[in-house]
Amino acid sequence: MTSLKLTAEPVPVRVYPAGNELASLLGFNGISPGPEIRAMQGQRISVDFENGLNESSSIHWHGIHLENAMDGVPVLTQAAVEPGETFNYSFDLANPGTYWYHAHHRSWEQVAKGLYGPLIVEESAPPPVDQDITVVLDDWRISQSGELLGDFGNLHDFSHAGRLGTYASALFSKDKVRLGDRVRLRLINASTARMFDLEIGGGSGMIVAHDGMPLASPSPLRDSPLLLAPAQRTDVILDATGPISFTLLTNQGPYDLGTIAAGEGSRVRIDSPIGPLPGSRRPSADFESALSATLAMQGGAMGGRHGGDDIWAFNDYSGLPDEPWQRYELGSTARINLRNDTAFPHGIHLHGHHFYELNEDGSPGHFRDTTLVMQNQSREILCVFDNPGKWLLHCHTLGHQASGMKTWIEVF
Ligand code: C2O
Ligand code: CU
C-alpha cells in the first residue's frame, strides 16, 4: 500500500520564463504540478487530501477504474471538501499506465491554475528503457510580466474554444538524456482547452499507449499524428538521436514547447524492437447484445439553437440532470454515437471506464477514457459498463463542461 498526503494550497510559480513575476497558481504540497505519484500495478493507494485553499475542492483520479465513492465528483459521488477539511481517497491500481489527478470543483478555474499532478502506475514487468520521463503539457493565459490573467469563467471563452492561453509549455520530469538512450515519454495534456497538435523531434520510435492503455500494435511516431485533447495522454518510446524537441503545430506556424537535452552517448544500447506494452485488463467487446444510444453535442458560438438553458447541451439538456442520461445494468455493453453538431472540437470523457473508439468499419480501435470528436463529425464508441455507480460524462474543455456540456450514467 502506498500512502501519502496531498495538501492543496496556493503556490507562486515562475511559469513564464521571460517574465519577472511569479504566477499565483494552486498546487499540492507546495508545487504545481503536484507531486508525481508512482505506484506499482496491483497496489492499493491511500491519499489523505487536505484542502488548504479558501474554497471548496475535490480530487478526481482521471482514467482510474475505481470505486464510485472515490471518484471525486462533488454532488454526484461525494460532498465537496471544504477549506480545512480532509478526505481520504483509497483505491486499487489494477491497470498500469499514465494517468493524472486533478481538482473537480470549479475545475475550469482550479485546473487552469495548476491544481493537478501526474499519476503513474508502473507495469510489474515494464518494457526496457533507459529513461522514463513525464511530460506535462499546459497552456497559460499569462501577462508579459508573468502573472496569470484573472479573467476566469468569461462567457466568450466558454462559448468558443475555452480558455486558450498566451504561453504554452512542456514540463519534463527529467530534462536530459544520453544520445542513444531509449526513452519513454509519458505525455499528459493538463490544459483546460488547448488541443495539443504535437511534433516530437530528435528520435524515432513508436506510440505505445493512449490514455494509459497499451496499443495492440504500436504505431510509428513518424507517420502518426499526435493530437491530444485536454486530459488525453499518450506514451511514446523512442531512441534518442539528438535533443528531444516538442513543437506545437498551430495555424500561425510551429511553436516551441521545450526540449530535453541530449548529452554524451550511452554505452549500452537497447536494440530490441519497440513492441507492445504488457497488456491491461480489457473487456471483450460484445457487439451482438450492445444497446445503442446517441449523444448529440449542441450549442456554443455559431452552433444554432438547442433545448438546453445554458451555452452547451447534450441532447437538448444543459448541465447535470437529476436523473441519469442512461442507466445500464452492470456488465452490459453499449454502442454510443457521439455526434458533434457544433462548430468546435470536444474531447469527451467518461469516468470510471475506458471504451473502444470504433473505426469507420465498426471494428474496435483504441481503448480510451477521453475521445476527441471534431466539429461536425461523429464517433461511435463501445463501452462495457463493468463498474457500478454514478459516472460523469463530459467535455474536458472545462469551460464547456461548466456551461452545460455534461451528463451522467448510472451503472447498477
Ligand atoms: Cu478529468 Cu471529469 O474529469
Ligand atoms: Cu467541449
Residue range 364-387, pLDDT digits in tens:
999 999 999 999 999 999 999 999
pLDDT at position 267 is 79
Say how many Å lie between the CA of residue 60 and the centre of ligand 1.
Answer: 6
Q: Which residue minimizes the CA distance to atom 1 of ligand 1?
A: 62
Tell me the pLDDT band of 404, cut-offs 50, 70 and 90: very high
Residue 210 CB–ligand 1 contact under 6 Å: no
pLDDT at position 360 is 92
Average pLDDT score over the chain: 96
SS3 at position 107: helix
pLDDT at position 284 is 80
Q: Which residues contact 304 (CB under 8 A, 6 or more apart)?
A: 298, 341
pLDDT at position 288 is 84
Residue 373 CB–ligand 1 contact under 6 Å: no
Residue 392 CB–ligand 1 contact under 6 Å: yes
Lowest mean pLDDT among 38-47, 76-85, 206-215, 216-225: 216-225
- The string of pLDDT tens digits covering residues 276-286 is 999 777 888 78
Q: Give start and end residues of each alpha helix (H) in 127-259.
A: 155-159
Lowest mean pLDDT among 54-68, 219-233, 272-286: 272-286
**Looking at the predicted structure, is the pLDDT value of residue 83 above 90?**
yes
Q: Cβ(42)–Cβ(125) under 8 Å?
A: no
Rounded to whole angstroms, how far apart are CA atoms 39 and 44? 8
pLDDT at position 281 is 74
Which of the ligands is closest to the CA of residue 102? Answer: 1
Which of the ligands is closest to the CA of residue 408? Answer: 1
**Looking at the predicted structure, is the pLDDT value of residue 266 above 80?**
no
Rounded to whole angstroms, how far apart are CA atoms 132 and 183? 6
Q: Cβ(51)–Cβ(84) under 8 Å?
A: yes
Strands 196-210 and 233-250: antiparallel
pLDDT at position 308 is 97
What's 235's DSSP letter? E
Average pLDDT of the segment spanning 75-90: 98
Tell me the pLDDT band of 304, cut-offs 50, 70 and 90: confident
Percent of the chain exceeding pLDDT 90 equals 94
Rounded to whole angstroms, how far apart are CA atoms 243 and 246? 10
pLDDT at position 283 is 81
What's 68's DSSP letter? G
Residue 277 CB–ligand 1 contact under 6 Å: no
> 350 burial class (0-12, 13-18, 19+ CB within 10 angstroms)?
buried
pLDDT at position 268 is 87
pLDDT at position 219 is 95
Residue 358 CB–ligand 1 contact under 6 Å: no
pLDDT at position 286 is 80
Q: Cβ(166)–Cβ(195) under 8 Å?
A: no
pLDDT at position 186 is 98
Say how many Å lie between the CA of residue 189 and the centre of ligand 1.
Answer: 12
- Nearest-atom number in ligand 1 for the CA of 63 is 1
Lowest mean pLDDT among 48-52, 190-194, 277-281, 349-353: 277-281
Rounded to whole angstroms, how far apart are CA atoms 406 and 320? 6
Residue 406 CB–ligand 1 contact under 6 Å: no
